[in-house]
A and B are shown apart, each in its own frame.
Chain A
Amino acid sequence: MSASLDTMLKAPGAMVECDDDPEAVYEFLCSKGWSDGLPVIPPTPERVERMLAYCDRDFDKPVVKIPPRFGAATPIRVAANAVMAGCKPEYFPLVLLALEAMAEEQYNLYGTQATTHPCTPMLIFNGPIAKEVGLNSGHNVMGNYFRANAAIGRAVRLCLVNIGAAIPGTGDMATAGTPCKFTFCVAENEEASPWEPLHVELGFPKEATVCTVVAAEGPHNVNDHESITPEGILAMVAGTIPTTGSNNAYYEGQPVMAFGPEHAQTVASGGMTKKQVKQWLFDHATIPLSKWSQEGIARRFRRKLADQFANAPLDTPVHMWQKPDDLIIIVTGGAGKHSQWVPTFGNTRAAWRALKRADGELVKSIHELKRG
């Protein structure tokens, strides 16, 4: 072990002793609340050191502070959580990248951590390193099985719990939460997309690796095996989106429309751009005001949104997000006639960050970050 890391780990409170047995470690970590409820890899000093092999930061300097505790997310602590989650060392820079993105003010990490709403960071990766480390963008992209997707998202959640104290009932007040809190990490299927990938749309070069974070609910499926025209697919999507219980009807959140590649090809077959798709869906995914409860109309629309709805007729269409371009469109998943609608928390905006070396240059291969 390097002398500097050894010194850091000898600081008071940096390490704790435990019986050397997998079940004992699991029981111990659960008893301390350092858990997502599932078994973990014991974060021994040797494993943490190996995890830090791809970290070009000072190991004891906070990368971000995570509310509501505002715990300091030093590389050492993040690495301990990444070990527990099952990360390979090559994943570690992407865990740090995701934490940095969600610390951007517009994401509202404090609010998303503490809210009663069932949101969790949806991590969307674009760029060459997503593929290099094995992030899945194909079949079952939002499901199980793929280590990188499972472990990177899980590591982020463990950091939010262990470093940020998003502990149910105290720091995380979610009424019900979502199973996506275990992990929600996808890569865009850039090769199967008819449009420019998300990070290019956001202004990054194609060779950049970018993490975009969205404070997301769980995804809802759009099944359409029949439509063969752009308007047909979009009509089905626009029919699936509108729900009166969605925060996106009132707030500034940026929901995600994750088209499956086959749906995306059909939608783009007539030449529709992403921007045109966003406008089309904004115009068609609406609900008449009358569908809300009388109390909801009186308290929410007539009073809190009075500038728009104070005297609006009951057949006024309510849009499902605030401005057409607020919708985030990605293409992800494998073959099949399904797409995913992902609503969000209310007071949040998407945030993103590109993976860069300490000298500010874009990282083209994860191995550029390997120490020594």
Chain B
Amino acid sequence: MGKIFLVVPDAPVEEVAHLKSNRSLGGGGIRLGILDNSKANADYLLNMIVDGVKQEFKVDSVVVKRKPTSSRPATDQVLDELAKEADLVISAMAD
């Protein structure tokens, strides 16, 4: 059977530079951040996760931010506040 060439209809994944945070937790407790995606059950799930984290680790504070809607990105302001007020952030999709 003969061969033909086809133009590839897909597109490659864009190269994205990933940055790794160098923040150290030091000897103190965790400043925990929560990004609630605003789905109906997100806060129930995230509260359970927070309770679980508290049982395993020393948590100094919990800051909760909420996206206005699940299918749009968090605002720059919310991301800046989380970066400032939390050592790590948990974000989860929960329907």
A38 CB, nearest partner CB in chain B, Å: 14
Q: Which residues of B contact A111 (CB under 8 A)?
A: 71-72
Q: How far is the CA of A114 from the CA of B70 in the complex (A)?
A: 11
The A interface is mostly helix, strand or loop, or mixed, namely mixed
Q: Which residues of B contact A368 (CB under 8 A)?
A: none
- Decide: B11 and A71 in contact? CB cutoff 8 A: yes
- Decide: A15 and B7 in contact? CB cutoff 8 A: yes
Which of A25, A33, A69, A80 contacts B7, CB < 8 Å? Answer: A80
A315 at the interface (CB under 8 A from B): no
A165 CB, nearest partner CB in chain B, Å: 8
- Decide: A44 and B4 in contact? CB cutoff 8 A: yes
Which of B2, B7, B8, B10 contacts A20, CB < 8 Å? Answer: B2
Report if A43-B40 is in contact (Cβ < 8 Å); known contacts: A21-B1, A346-B71, A347-B70: no
A42 at the interface (CB under 8 A from B): yes
B27 at the interface (CB under 8 A from A): no
Q: Which residues of B contact A69 (CB under 8 A)?
A: 11, 13-14
Q: Which of B25-45 contact A (CB under 8 A)?
A: 38, 40
- Decide: B11 and A44 in contact? CB cutoff 8 A: no
A45 at the interface (CB under 8 A from B): yes
- Decide: A71 and B12 in contact? CB cutoff 8 A: yes
- Decide: B3 and A71 in contact? CB cutoff 8 A: no
B52 at the interface (CB under 8 A from A): no
B33 CB, nearest partner CB in chain A, Å: 22
Q: Which residues of B contact A20 (CB under 8 A)?
A: 1-4
A202 at the interface (CB under 8 A from B): no
Q: Which residues of B contact A79 (CB under 8 A)?
A: 7
B48 at the interface (CB under 8 A from A): no
One digit per residue, 1 when the CB lies within 8 angstroms of any chain B CB and 0 when it does not, for chain A 85-124 equals 0000000000000000000000010111011100000000
Q: How far is the CA of A13 from the CA of B9 in the complex (A)?
A: 10
Q: How far is the CA of A28 from the CA of B7 in the complex (A)?
A: 13
A214 at the interface (CB under 8 A from B): no
A181 at the interface (CB under 8 A from B): no
Q: How far is the CA of A25 from the CA of B5 in the complex (A)?
A: 10
Q: How far is the CA of A112 from the CA of B72 in the complex (A)?
A: 10
Q: Which residues of A contact B13 (CB under 8 A)?
A: 69, 71
Q: How far is the CA of A69 from the CA of B1 in the complex (A)?
A: 35
Q: Which residues of A contact B69 (CB under 8 A)?
A: 251, 346-347
Which of A73, A108, A112 contacts B11, CB < 8 Å? Answer: A73
Report if A16-B10 is in contact (Cβ < 8 Å); known contacts: A110-B71, A347-B70: no
> Nearest CB to that of B73 among chain A residues?
A110
Which of A34, A110, A115, A299 contacts B10, CB < 8 Å? Answer: A34
A329 at the interface (CB under 8 A from B): no
B6 CB, nearest partner CB in chain A, Å: 5
- Decide: A162 and B10 in contact? CB cutoff 8 A: yes
B56 CB, nearest partner CB in chain A, Å: 29
> Nearest CB to that of A84 among chain B residues?
B9
> Nearest CB to that of A299 among chain B residues?
B40
Q: Which residues of B contact A72 (CB under 8 A)?
A: 11, 14
A53 CB, nearest partner CB in chain B, Å: 15
Most buried by A among B14, B71, B95: B71
Given contacts A65-B14, A72-B14, A77-B9, 18 further A-B contacts (CB under 8 A): A13-B12, A14-B8, A18-B3, A18-B4, A20-B2, A29-B6, A34-B9, A44-B6, A45-B5, A48-B7, A71-B10, A73-B11, A77-B7, A79-B7, A108-B71, A111-B72, A114-B71, A304-B38
Nearest 8 CB-CB pairings of A with B: A71-B11, A111-B71, A80-B9, A20-B2, A80-B7, A20-B4, A347-B71, A162-B10
The residues of A with any CB-CB pair to B shorter than 8 Å are 9, 13-21, 24-25, 28-29, 32-34, 42-45, 48, 65-66, 69-74, 76-77, 79-81, 83-84, 108, 110-112, 114-116, 158, 162-165, 251, 299-300, 304, 346-347
The residues of B with any CB-CB pair to A shorter than 8 Å are 1-14, 38, 40, 69-72, 95
26 contacts between A and B (CB under 8 A): A13-B8, A15-B5, A19-B1, A19-B4, A20-B3, A32-B10, A33-B10, A42-B6, A43-B7, A43-B9, A44-B7, A45-B5, A69-B11, A70-B14, A71-B13, A71-B14, A80-B6, A110-B71, A114-B71, A162-B9, A162-B10, A163-B9, A163-B11, A165-B10, A304-B40, A346-B69
